[in-house]
Structure 1
């Protein structure tokens, strides 16, 4: 996959009301090339720490071109969503879940079917927390390089191995943003060496500097009631888990724990991509795996449609 395959943004932006008088940025790209009588569920993308809706630009263009209505929200305190300096480092995981819930309700109110929610890293944790009480409101869930339900604690040894000095500095300063505070530090944590410097600089310039200490503590150890999710048999059959071969934040062994936590779901590992799978040079390889798994798990009759 070449660097030139980066999508030029064509999406539109609206704002959706959430709780606590928050307005959420929601970018969207409606599906084209739709197939008659085939009602594909919309896709709702949920970003992770330091990111916002913009990070899904590539996926919005790619999936909308294959008939999916695509939406990506910026969580409160991120992107163009409402920012409150005194609160943005202390919103709870539950309040982020309220943002996802507000957007899902908005989609439903506007005549769309139950979405497939797709969460990256912290966004994956938010999606899992949402499923505790609202699994009946979605078609499926895709977890990308996601924090496992047992928490981030199992990733810490790998972080020390991969970015030891930087990690130590971040702990001393009590500011994990230090891990990505420069483009080159961001590369070590989030990207493979394949990402060109100009693209790396562009991404880094968009990162949020605010770090949510409360959610970090909440997701350090077990943060969801697994039984509530495991009881949803249809959801378990359709859940998809994908990671990057070079991811040092959520490495392969942690993803294996994630799959086992949900009864042995097969984990797909995409070669030559690191943590920010949707921004890597080979992001289209990741999108292709997502599409194939959606076809296999939810739409077997349309498996060869594209």
Structure 2
């Protein structure tokens, strides 16, 4: 049983270390921003099986993560001929790190969004201006909805993987409190450290993963997480923060593909659970039908139906696909059944 008062996994200092080694087939780049160098990982297609006009995937991590959380997905998709990119925002992965106080109390959602936008534009320039499919997880999913709502980038498709809902995250944090009743007390005894809710591998497993994932994997994951996090990032998404119709308006595949947006979530996710994610899917389905009805989108508004899917339920309709990854927790891209989620994403990608 871990101690409620342990500080073993908490840090108040910038990490001082060389960049982490990379898996096979993935290379690291750094792009210049006004604040510092931002890490972008790139996995080139292993073969030209999809031709020169293939659409790249661009991955955005969530809180305490980094581009590294997408390594398995990047290897999976690049092996199938799809170029992949993943960003580490400031204070994450091997990007530059603000000080503890600057990161926790003065790094805003807007600043983190600037990092994502800079990385997307850099990747688009490398890909000769191609629009990408944006795949965004958790708080990074919330950030990506905000970026599209502000019409800063255009994408070919959008995948919200266990994403903070654009209508606000209060329900998500109520789920977190239910899963961890000592949340608030631990925060106090940890000096209000932002990583307190995930300050031990047992807590990280409870919130992020299924029970079946090995202790060794969870411990290695814990060692890679950011030493501290921005408070203003999640607080900036507590209440509605993105217009669903404006988000959908930044997706370019309407009229050519039956679905331009996918909501993907883990079956045993305790914070972005079925209630929250089905609500998010319906949120965008309602917006899609309204846009088609007003003839602001040239697309067919098809009724919802279930797909034949042996690996968890998937539904399609009203422009939105909703997929469940069986046996996966919140970090569906890293859990035991991550490959099932990758296959569902590939099915969505192929219909674009």
Residue 288 (structure 1) aligned to one of 325, 337, 343? 343
The reply on whether 1:229 has 2:247 as its aligned counterpart is yes
Change in CA separation of 1:220 and 1:36 when aligned onto 2, cut-off 3 Å:
closer
SS at match of 1:289: helix
Unmatched runs of 5 consecutive residues or more in structure 1: 1-6, 299-306
> 1:165 pairs with 182, 195, 200, which one?
182
How much does 1:161 deviate?
A: 2.3
Q: Distance in 2 between matches of 1:227 and 1:41?
A: 24
Q: TM-score, normalised by structure 2?
A: 0.77
Relative to structure 1, is the Cα distance of residues 36 and 172 closer, same or farther in structure 2, using a 3 angstrom cutoff?
closer
1:87 aligns with 2:102: yes
Alignment of structure 1 residues 254-265 onto 2, 5 Å: 254-264=276-286, 265=320
Per-residue CA deviations over 1:68-125 (Å, capped at 9, x if unaligned) read 1111110011111111104222322122221121112112222341111110001101
Deviation at 1:201?
0.8
Q: TM-score of the superposition, structure 1-length normalised?
A: 0.88
Measured against aligned partners, the alpha-carbon deviations of 1:128-157 in whole angstroms (never above 9, x if no partner) come to 111123375321111100000011101233
DSSP 3-state at the match of 2:270: coil
Retained in 2: the 8 A contact 1:177–1:209?
yes
1:1-12 matches, within 5 Å, as 8-12=23-27
Q: Deviations over 1:179-207 (max 9, x none)?
A: 21111111011111111111111111111
* Structure 2, unaligned runs of 5 or more: 1-21, 287-319
SS state at 2:54 partner: coil
How many Å separate the matches in 2 of 1:171 and 1:225?
A: 35
For residues 8-47 of structure 1, what are the alpha-carbon distances to aligned partners after superposition, in whole Å with 9 as ceiling and x for unaligned? 44311110123x3321111111012222646221111100
Number of paired residues?
Answer: 290
**TM alignment of 1:183-222, pairs within 5 A:** 183-222=201-240
The residue aligned with 1:47 is 61
2: CA distance, partners of 1:25 / 1:261 = 33
SS in 2 for 1:139: strand
1:275 paired residue among 315, 330, 350: 330
- Alpha-carbon spacing, 1:168–1:15, altered in 2? closer, same or farther (3 Å): same
Superposed CA deviations along residues 223-266 of structure 1, whole A, max 9, x for unmatched, are: 12334224457467411110001101211101012111112534
Is the Cα contact below 8 Å between 1:135 and 1:229 reproduced in 2? no
Contact 2:147–2:153 (CA under 8 A) maintained in structure 1: no
Contact 2:39 2:95 in 1 (8 A): yes
Instruction: Name whichever structure is richer in helix by fraction.
Output: 1
8 Å CA contact 1:35, 1:67 repeated in 2? yes
RMSD: 2.1
Partner SS state of residue 268, structure 1: strand
Q: Residues 159 and 167 of structure 1 are in contact (CA less than 8 Å); yes or no, is this contact kept in structure 2? A: no
Q: Which has the larger radius of gyration?
A: 2
